């Protein structure tokens, strides 16, 4: 029996706070118009080229709205999982990068240096996020041996999945993209996670995926 689960890991569509470089964390921010357009383009592309057996989403609406577009287009069942939430940023949530640096310079340094055990007040450390995300991944992937699933989540979750698949340390500088609605392809077996492809945004360039209005 094939124990491999193929995974399409996808960051949600754009929000107004993404544009403003404002930290969202667990705050429930909706997609903006661009994000909704991205989600529809993505959904049509996946429906045209992939067999999807299940869609799992963070319960935050920016991810869930993106996932719902995929589920509607592909006919795959959709379920939410809190393990796919963005990192909790506590007191940083709602603030821009500049505001964080000005208000909490010491804490901001820990954030920039990716200190593994450090957490903003009321938030999560990178170690906690890694444990939460990898646990959710194992739980969901193990349900679908021999199948392909979609996980719709957040930039911080995508970062953790890339590191897990490539063996990158938590403090290694990020050299990979985390674009809105980028498709990231992974393979999971009980032995671990591996990377197939990363940051595919070809659906955003394909004009044939625009909805035809009559």
Residues noted as catalytic: 12, 86
Domains within the chain, CATH numbers bracketed: 5-209 (3.40.50.1240)
> Residue 203 and residue 210: Cα distance in Å, rounded?
10
> Residue 58 and residue 51: Cα distance in Å, rounded?
21
Looking at residues 77-86, what average pLDDT do you find?
98
Q: 154, 202, 204: which is closest to 39 by C-alpha?
A: 204
Decide if pLDDT at 183 tops 80.
Answer: yes
> Residue 100 and residue 40: Cα distance in Å, rounded?
33
> Residues 130-153: pLDDT tens digits?
999 999 999 999 999 999 999 999
Rg for the chain, CA atoms, rounded: 17
155-166 vs 126-141: helix crossing angle, rounded to 10: 80
pTM over the 0.75 mark: yes
Return the pLDDT at 48. Answer: 95
């Amino acid at each position: 029996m094939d124990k491999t689960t193929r995974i399409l890991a996808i960051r949600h569509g754009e929000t107004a706070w993404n544009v403003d470089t404002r930290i969202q964390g667990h705050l429930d921010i909706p997609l903006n118009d661009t994000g909704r357009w991205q989600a529809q383009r993505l959904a049509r592309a996946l429906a045209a080229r992939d067999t999807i057996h299940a869609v799992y989403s963070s319960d935050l609406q920016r991810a869930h709205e993106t996932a719902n577009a995929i589920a509607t287009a592909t006919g795959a069942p959709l379920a939410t999982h809190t393990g796919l939430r963005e990192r909790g940023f506590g007191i940083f949530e709602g603030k821009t990068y500049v505001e964080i640096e000005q208000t909490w310079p010491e804490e901001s340094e820990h954030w920039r240096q990716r200190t593994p055990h450090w957490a903003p007040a009321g938030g999560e450390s990178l170690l906690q996020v890694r444990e939460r995300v990898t646990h959710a991944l194992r739980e969901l992937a193990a349900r679908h041996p021999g199948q392909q699933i979609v996980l719709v989540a957040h930039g911080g979750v995508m970062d953790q999945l890339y590191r897990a698949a490539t063996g990158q340390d938590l403090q290694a500088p990020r050299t990979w993209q985390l674009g809105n609605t980028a498709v990231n392809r992974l393979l999971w077996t009980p032995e671990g996670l591996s990377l197939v492809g990363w940051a595919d945004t070809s659906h955003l360039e394909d004009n044939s995926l625009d909805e035809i209005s009559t």
